[in-house]
A and B are shown apart, each in its own frame.
Chain A
Amino acid sequence: MSTLIQTDRFVLSETERSAIEHEMHHYEDPRAASIEALKIVQKERGWVPDGACDAIGAIIGIPASDVEGVATFYSQIFRQPVGRHIIRVCDSMTCFIGGHESVVSSIQQQLGIGLGQTSADGRFTLLPVCCLGNCDKAPAVMIDDDTFGDVQPDGVAQMLEAYV
């Protein structure tokens, strides 16, 4: 690749750095903190920019390519900017039977986005997720840290309202 997209040097904040160093002590090998380190950066910034892999690798003492490999493997690590709120729609067969596809359609229509996309106003990113373990209340949707059960297509607007 000839074009270097990211030219700004990435610097971890003091909060991020100390949180990562704290995590490293919980394991026999500091590499184990790599996923948590990515989550720490993501919590601060919403996503994980390329430079974060170098910075995390340098603290932990592993190659940036290893951090990158981990970052791209795990579905809840975001490698591009996301919306202010993450909507995770459970797509287990239980929620399928409960009608989750019409819930997804309703969300898609209201936000004008497909799965994996972010709304134009930067408010929401819509993602599918493995069974949320809310099967007695299917279909289930998680927005940020809140889980909703028995979600109906016509209840979507009200559900989204609280997330500005």
Chain B
Amino acid sequence: MKTLTSIGPANKIARSEETHPLTWRLRDDAQPVWLDEYQQKNGYAAARKALQDMAQADIVQTVKDSGLKGRGGAGFPTGVKWGLMPADESMNIRYLLCNADEMEPNTWKDRMLMEQLPHLLIEGMLISARALKAYRGYIFLRGEYVDAAANLNRAIAEAKAAGLLGKNILGSGFDFELFVHTGAGRYICGEETALINSLEGRRANPRSKPPFPAAVGVWGKPTCVNNVETLCNVPSIVSGGVDWYKGLARPGSEDMGTKLMGFSGKVKNPGLWELPFGVSARELFEDYAGGMRDGYKLKCWQPGGAGTGFLLPEHLDASMYAAGIAKVGTRMGTGLALAVDDSVNMVSLLRNMEEFFARESCGFCTPCRDGLPWSVKILRALERGQGTQEDIATLLGLVNFLGPGKTFCAHAPGAVEPLGSAIKYFRSEFEAGVASCSVSATTGQFAPA
């Protein structure tokens, strides 16, 4: 029996169907939950209800009313996205794509769901496809997730054999087929229009929006792209109802339901847990992750992936939901936080991050293609103590010129958000990288420090 690498604290905390809709079915031994066990744990009951007792529009309305937002990092309301699909019945070839291209640094939530609960994703996609009138779905999975691919393919075969995928599912007259499409690398494939290009067998350059995928998506057909965790929320919303779902989050949270949240870095108990929106980052950090390991002090933290800004220890009282994190100046992103300890130099850390973003730029638009390697060059110089007087101003210029609205997609804005916040909070570490004697690049004058 293979031990899945996704085994972790999510398997070990107390869970119940009432409070942990995503993870209550997980096994303590972290083995995959196959069809028989999944059905014993009320699996596909929501699909039965959606396909047999609910009108297509009712499913869309239920998801809209639930307040479900995308769990891939951007947090766009799922019901609104679904509502963008054309009303024109003659456009009858529609696609549902699952974005399972999980490559955001410090993100491992979709992997856990797909490896251990493949049927939850299939059920979520089946119900969503019914709501969106999609006849076919693809799970766009990154190539490195080999266990997730194997488990999803086995689960799809089980579902097909049980009449839960294919023709006339559960006697409803609805047909839906589902394929796993594995990628071949490149972080940019997670951008939804780049994902569509990649699925079509093209280079994964993002597409211009509008038109949005709901109007012109894969092969020019109406297409909806949703994240794994988003789709995994759908069955419980259908079976548990909007009121129950809305009651899951902590009071004060404007986001509904639960979220897979995590903390990693040099904390005592790094891991992933299903928690209600609105818990404080401090609760996540102290009660779940156990605080810092002995000998390490928390220097700063990132709330949800490489593309989110750095926050200070004093910001740990912020609530983990979109507006709660926005109040302290950044985005919640994927909700999987990273602790940076006091042994880490911010220049080196940012050099590592910008090397990643520069390497993964698709190269289509100039600010991103040229600006990110420029930032790497500067950060490497600062790390060696060979920076110039202008370097920090140049970096801040890049933070501006690569920011939101100035590039073709969100890749570069995501890359400069942590850079801007790192300079804001730890400017002295960047200044320390300026050579004690440097020649001013703009004036050509010798400038002793």
Identify the A interface with B (CB < 8 A): 26-29, 31-36, 38-39, 60, 62, 66, 69-70, 73-77, 88, 91-94, 96-98, 128-138, 142, 145, 147, 149
Contacts and interface: CB of A to CB of B under 8 A. Distances in A.
Nearest to A75: B185
Interface in B333-376: 336, 338, 340-341, 344, 348-349, 352-353, 355-356, 359-360
Given A32-B199, A62-B201, A97-B265, 8 more contacts: A28-B93, A60-B201, A92-B105, A93-B353, A97-B349, A134-B5, A135-B107, A137-B270
B184 A97 contact: no
Contacts of B270: 135-138
A77 B204 CA distance: 14
Interface string B74-108: 00000000000000000001000000001111111
A85 to B, nearest CB: 15
B356 A28 contact: no
A22 B306 CA distance: 38
A106 to B, nearest CB: 18
A96 B201 contact: no
B317 interface: no
28 contacts: A28-B93, A28-B218, A29-B219, A32-B199, A32-B200, A32-B201, A35-B183, A35-B201, A66-B202, A70-B203, A74-B186, A92-B356, A93-B338, A93-B349, A93-B352, A93-B353, A96-B348, A96-B352, A97-B265, A97-B266, A97-B338, A128-B359, A130-B185, A131-B103, A132-B144, A133-B102, A133-B103, A138-B270
A97 B8 contact: no
A134 B108 contact: yes
A138 B264 contact: yes
B380 interface: no
A74 B380 CA distance: 26
Contacts of A36: 181-182
Nearest to B149: A145
Among A27, A96, A133, A147, find the residue whose CB has the most chain B CB atoms closer than 10 A: A133
Interface string B182-219: 11111100000000001111111000000000000011
B106 A69 contact: no
A145 B266 contact: no
Contacts, number: 137
A74 B5 contact: no
Given A38-B184, A130-B360, A133-B108, A94 B338 contact: yes
Contact of A136 (B179, B198, B199, B271): B271
Contacts of B340: 97
Contact of B352 (A39, A75, A91): A91
Contacts of A128: 359
B186 A73 contact: yes
Nearest to B177: A26
Contact of B184 (A39, A66, A132, A142): A39
Contacts of A32: 181, 199-201
B13 interface: no
A162 B146 CA distance: 19
Nearest to B10: A136
B272 interface: yes
B338 to A, nearest CB: 6
Nearest to B187: A130
Contact of B200 (A31, A74, A131, A142): A31
A149 B111 CA distance: 15
B184 A130 contact: no
